[in-house]
Amino acid sequence: MQLVQLQARQKELADAGIQVVGISYDPVDVLKEFADKRKVKFPLLSDPDSKTIKAYGLSDAAAKGKQEGIPYPGTFVVDKDGVIRAKLFHEGPLKRHTPEDLIKAAKDVK
């Protein structure tokens, strides 16, 4: 999902009981600049060494150089106890899930 799409639908997502949090290998200053420019209000967490990204098996093994550590885009639905209840991923890095996909996944795990 694109972060800007999620921000545009933030109220609807919150009404469905969804708290959006993004994680990226980008440094804090880059995430802050992006959030300020795009008016993204939900938390964007920096994982500069990709430790969390690697722990979840999301690293793109083909990415080298400056791109090393980049994750495959995806979404986890985590319940209030921290248990992963759903994983939303597509083959390849370009296709994204929609906010509707996220709302459906969250409803399916309730």
pTM: predicted TM-score of the whole model, two decimal places? 0.79
Per residue in 50-109, pLDDT (tens digit) is 898 888 888 877 788 878 777 777 888 888 888 888 888 766 555 677 888 888 888 887
* Residues whose CB is less than 8 angstroms from the CB of residue 43 and which lie 6 or more positions away in sequence, other chains included: 21, 22
Domains, the chain: 3-108 (3.40.30.10)
Q: Where are the beta strands (DSSP E) in 37-83?
A: 44-46, 74-78
Per residue in 26-66, pLDDT (tens digit) is 999 999 999 999 999 999 999 988 898 888 888 877 788 87
* Residues whose CB is less than 8 angstroms from the CB of residue 81 and which lie 6 or more positions away in sequence, other chains included: none
